[in-house]
Amino acid sequence: MTIKKMRDIEGTTFFDGPMSTKGYPVNKMFHSFNSKDGRDAFVADEEAYMEKFKLNEAQKQCVRDRDVLGLIREGGSIYYLAKIGPILGLNVQDFGGLQTGKTTEEFQAYLDSQGIGKNNG
Amino acid sequence: MTIKKMRDIEGTTFFDGPMSTKGYPVNKMFHSFNSKDGRDAFVADEEAYMEKFKLNEAQKQCVRDRDVLGLIREGGSIYYLAKIGPILGLNVQDFGGLQTGKTTEEFQAYLDSQGIGKNNG
Amino acid sequence: MAKIVGGIGSSHIPAIGVAMDKGLEDTPYWRDFFQSYVPLRKWFNEVDPDILVIFYNDHGLEMFLDKKPTFAVGTAAEYENADEGWGINPIPPVRGETELSWHIVNELVENDFDPTVCQEIKVDHGLTVPLTLMYPAKDYSKVKVIPICINCERHPMPKLSRSYAFGQQIGRAIESFGGDQKVVVMGTGGLSHQLDGERAGIINTEFDLLCMEKIVSDPEYLTKYSLEDIVELAGGQGVELNMWMAMRGCLTGKVTEGYSNLVAPISNTAAGIQLLINE
Amino acid sequence: MAKIVGGIGSSHIPAIGVAMDKGLEDTPYWRDFFQSYVPLRKWFNEVDPDILVIFYNDHGLEMFLDKKPTFAVGTAAEYENADEGWGINPIPPVRGETELSWHIVNELVENDFDPTVCQEIKVDHGLTVPLTLMYPAKDYSKVKVIPICINCERHPMPKLSRSYAFGQQIGRAIESFGGDQKVVVMGTGGLSHQLDGERAGIINTEFDLLCMEKIVSDPEYLTKYSLEDIVELAGGQGVELNMWMAMRGCLTGKVTEGYSNLVAPISNTAAGIQLLINE
Ligand SMILES: [Fe+3]
Ligand SMILES: [Fe+3]
């Protein structure tokens, strides 16, 4: 098989075709969080909801563990999986911290260290 | 406005962008006939079903009159509107007759007159 | 490397599915049509392809006007068929081939095609009828199918030259895919017919025969026709020739004709049946 | 003929929508960002465009992986926004412009682009946030919006050169459209950021400033970067630069910079704000 392998960039997973095949069920579940019904159903019974979308066991365990890096490894796309954030009360800085082994404050400080253009702030 | 006008071919309506804009509600209704629920709901109450899909009055009248040419003029695409055929017990030869002012038998004879390759028949 | 052993041109009209469901293959109306598939299937069964790429158009099952792709490529592991309202029995799910599908998509996008990529779609009779013609016992569970859908319902549609180039790119992608899979490509639909308007019922077998001749020896010749020319010559739905052009584009080797027939009228159409060998 | 008077580059992150909903524009975190829109809006209000073409990407509201277009063009008379799960209040429906949309689609297909054409789609924050930045009082009922969506979520994605060519073709289509409409095009998203992985949080303002310089004077320069280069340099979601390239492609006249600023961090991104005048 000769599917193009994307460049190796440390700490970066290209969400490409094979990853999208692998992650389809989990991304479809996250996508369903667009609707309040979907979010409520997940909160009411996470296991049943994961089963409905046919997540595999590894994906289920990552959801149970709130393991963001694990979810990405299992084919989750950040665009869809971030939709679990508001349900869990996590914003993208919290997500950043979770993935980089930092507290949210440390992650924010890392962002700030790369800052520009906030002269009037 | 300068949307490309398609070539004038007698007896032929190009289903192009402006026609597709005009016909969107009626085509969406016909498209819903993919499902038995949609077909049954139409049969149960045609007027309510047309209202649900927001057909304009001209489109509704064409549906009431089973006016195929009228429906095409009002933006219907043959691909979608043909889905009303099985509901009304009409096949594509019946449709052909209705549009060309022929009986179904006459339309079939017209098709046969252009025949080829039926040597073993 | 994967090898495209041949291409098949075939009709895909719902009436064929209904005739097969009802066992009408040997009636006077249908006999010559179904007889044409005997030599095709003989070749097909001998080849016993691993992968079948089917160019089809969606007549209003999945690709509705709300979000209508010019070109769509399936990358799913399985495709379902469904009720389309025509009274054909839906066929059991079709197996997909994710790896080659993604390779095709990668190569298309790399080379400036803009496909819509489908990980979950229902396939309509445009695909299931030709598939069933190849596997009348519906024993297609072994073959992997890649559905490739071309807009033939709403203008603007891809030009014949674009569909041909699209096929050429897909052919190159397949032939560059590692492995020893045998691949057959199918172009479905057509040939001349018009379902709508006061001109409904026109058939132009002379033009169809020209298309079937040129598609073997000189497909570029056909790219001289605009889609308006095609509508004028071959009827409103004659534009389904686009799928035959894409199929032919895939055949990058030396192409010879293995079989050819044209039967009309089949429903409102002239049904082209053609086998192209690719060496 | 319709006239493209200028292009705007703008961020489109949900946090901006939330900040506007909550009235946080003048807080220390947001002040510099929102101040940058004062000169943009001054120009924009003076122009008072009839039509706004917005290049955006859909982050999972409408264009899911089941059927994901590389390029999608809206041709509807109206577009709705909806709950995306981010907690932004959906905005009232946005007016479409069917005639110019179809003209653009015709010209794209005629020139070998393969768009998915959308007569009924919901638009996400990628479009609504930039629109609301131009109309903070949400008084956008007069302007007609053409949404043009580019896949930035799943590889393969269009190359920068393809998005630029796509924009060029759209620019030519608009400028060939009869009438005296004033058109503004927006490229949204970016600039450098990465949301996922152990590398989350990288920002590269040096590269962003280079992009903003080249996009004025030498957009072709940027087409030398592959998307893998962009991911390496500007982070995983830095690929949203594609929308800026398409916007720039539309500007076929003499292009000068009317305003430019880069503010970071805004959420996890470097937010580019840029006005390009097209003469
Ligand atoms: Fe067809
Ligand atoms: Fe974005």
The model's pLDDT over B20-33, given as tens digits with 9 standing for 90+, comes to 999 999 999 999 99
Instruction: Label residue A1 by pLDDT band (50, 70, 90).
Output: low
Shortest distance, CA D236 to any CA of chain A (angstroms) = 7
Please indicate whether, in this complex, the C-beta atoms of C102 and A21 are within 8 angstroms of each other.
yes
Calculate the dihedral angle through the C-alpha atoms of B71, B77, B80, B81, rounding to the nearest 10 degrees: 20
Sheet strands (E) in chain D: 3-10, 51-56, 71-74, 78-79, 94-95, 116-118, 144-150, 182-188, 255-266, 269-278
Percent of chain D with pLDDT over 90: 97
Closest to C164 measured CA to CA, from D31, D112, A19: D112
Q: Which residues of A touch C178 (CB under 8 A)?
A: 1-2
Shortest distance, CA B24 to any CA of chain D (angstroms) = 8
Residue D209's CB: how many other CB atoms inside 10 A? Answer: 16
pLDDT at A3: 87
Strand partners, C55: C148, C187
Centre of ligand 2 to C-alpha D262, Å, is 16
C216 within a domain of the structure (yes/no): yes
Q: Which ligand is nearest to the CA of C189?
A: 1
At A58, list the tokens: 């590894």
- Considering only C127-136, D36-45, D78-87, D198-207, which range has the smallest mean pLDDT? D78-87
pLDDT at A121 > cutoff 50: no
pLDDT at B110: 97
C275 within a domain of the structure (yes/no): no
Q: How many CB pairs under 8 A join C and D?
A: 98
pLDDT of A43-93, one tens digit each? 999 999 999 999 999 999 999 999 999 999 999 999 999 999 999 999 999
Instruction: Label residue B121 by pLDDT band (50, 70, 90).
Output: very low
C279 within a domain of the structure (yes/no): no
Shortest distance, CA D179 to any CA of chain A (angstroms) = 40
pLDDT at B1: 57
Q: Which of C28, C83, C195 sits opposite B92 (nearest CB)?
A: C195
pLDDT of C255-276, one tens digit each? 999 999 999 999 999 999 999 9
Q: Does C144 touch chain A (CB under 8 A)?
A: no
The rounded mean pLDDT for chain A is 95
Q: Which residues of C touch B115 (CB under 8 A)?
A: 264-265
pLDDT at B90: 93
Q: Does C119 touch chain A (CB under 8 A)?
A: yes
Interface residue of B12, B16, B30, B33 to substitute, partner C, most C CBs within 10 Å: B12
How many domains does chain C divide into? 1
Please indicate whether, in this complex, the C-beta atoms of C120 and A21 are within 8 angstroms of each other.
no
D167 within a domain of the structure (yes/no): yes
pLDDT at B118: 87
pLDDT at C86: 85
Distance CA(D58)–CA(D238), nearest Å, equals 15
Map tokens 């979950």 to a residue: C120
D279 within a domain of the structure (yes/no): no
Distance CA(C129)–CA(C90), nearest Å, equals 10
C269 within a domain of the structure (yes/no): no
pLDDT at C214: 98
pLDDT at C1: 87
Percent of chain A with pLDDT over 70: 98
pLDDT at D134: 98
pLDDT at C26 > cutoff 70: yes
In sequence order, what are the residues at sequence separation of 6 or more whose Cβ sits closer than 8 angstroms to the Cβ of residue D213? none
The rounded mean pLDDT for chain C is 97
Average pLDDT over residues B2-11: 92
At B18, list the tokens: 């402006």
Instruction: State the CATH number of the domain containing residue C198.
Output: 3.40.830.10
pLDDT at D274: 98
In sequence order, what are the residues at sequence separation of 6 or more whose Cβ sits closer than 8 angstroms to the Cβ of residue D191? D11, D208, D211, D212, D234, D238, D240, D241, D244, D262, D269, D270, D271, D272
pLDDT of D249-269, one tens digit each? 999 999 999 999 999 999 999
Average pLDDT over residues C139-146: 97
pLDDT at C87: 81
At C25, list the tokens: 């293959």
pLDDT at A120 > cutoff 60: no
The domains found in chain B, sorted by start residue, are 17-89 (1.10.700.10), 91-121 (no CATH)
pLDDT at C102 > cutoff 50: yes
At D7, list the tokens: 């292009």
C63 within a domain of the structure (yes/no): yes
Q: Which residues of D touch B20 (CB under 8 A)?
A: 75, 119
Whole domain around residue D226: which residue ranges?
Answer: 3-273
